[in-house]
Amino acid sequence: MINSIFIHNIIKIIYVNFHFLPFRQAIKFPIDVYGKLRVVGNSGKLCINGTVRPGMIKLGSQGRDMFPLDPVILDIRGSLCFNGSFYIGCGSTIRVEPGANMSIGAKSRFGAQSILFCEDNIKIGSQVGGSWRCQLMDTDRHEIMNLNTGTISPSHKPIVIGDNVWIGNNVCINKGTVIPDNTIIASKSFCNKNYSDVAPFSVLGGIPAKVVSSGKQRVW
């Protein structure tokens, strides 16, 4: 009981709630911080839509029994909106660049050492489960030229993750990816396109990811 109390970072809990949220929400302390937290950028907007409850957003809570207790990095210079409860593991990074928008649905969570990096737009649905070391990046952080045509590909494109999606460990989801509802992504896969035409309850796997199985559903 005593150990469970001391893993909460009281100073950072007070800071992130009252810095990012309006007083009527902050006073309920909906953002809980486990262990260390580095706030790198704090000029953006963080909002919680719907009913606000104590401890509904847990930063650093996942994976504390398996991974080094590295700090969560919070870098909010754009807009980050939670539409319900959300958990993310220790050693993870949430970064939203200026002018970018990230929204996360209710009952979603990501494991330790995950990276959510938004330079354009990332929309994560409800009840999305991500294992450890998941990486969602809607940007390459650079542009690439086709030497044959002279065309330059955009460095960023939106990512859309549907509801009830399960993402295995070490999965990389790149710019322009669309994952439909009720999809499973096998561990160590690389997703980089629109998978909207994939049948419901499919399993994606491989580099790049393609349908490897069907008629499967994550047991929550």
Contacts of 6 (CB under 8 A, 6+ apart): none
Q: Token pair for residue 177?
A: 């990816």
Q: Token pair for residue 75?
A: 């870098």
Q: Token pair for residue 198?
A: 């994939």
Q: Which long-range contacts (CB under 8 A, 24 or more apart) does 105-108 make?
A: 105/163, 106/50, 108/84
CA distance 65 to 16: 25
Q: Looking at domain 2-214, which of 2.60.40.1180, 2.160.10.10, 3.40.50.1980, 3.40.50.261 is its CATH number?
A: 2.160.10.10
CA distance 203 to 3: 40
Q: Token pair for residue 45?
A: 């907007």
209: which DSSP letter?
T
Q: pLDDT tens, 188-216?
A: 999 999 999 999 999 999 999 999 999 99
3-state secondary structure of 200: coil
CA distance 167 to 158: 18
Work out the average pLDDT over 5-12.
85
pLDDT class of 4 with cuts at 50, 70, 90: low
Residue 118 clears pLDDT 80, i.e. is over it: yes
pLDDT at 5: 52
Residue 123 clears pLDDT 90, i.e. is over it: yes
Residue with tokens 């509801």: 163
pLDDT at 150: 84
Q: Are 151 and 188 in contact (CB under 8 A)?
A: no
CA distance 60 to 32: 9
pLDDT at 151: 86
Q: Token pair for residue 47?
A: 């909002």
Cis peptide leading into 98, omega within 30 of 0?
A: no
Q: Token pair for residue 191?
A: 């997703």
Question: Model's pTM, two decimal places?
Answer: 0.92
Residue 6 clears pLDDT 80, i.e. is over it: no
3-state secondary structure of 169: coil
Q: pLDDT tens, 170-180?
A: 999 999 999 99
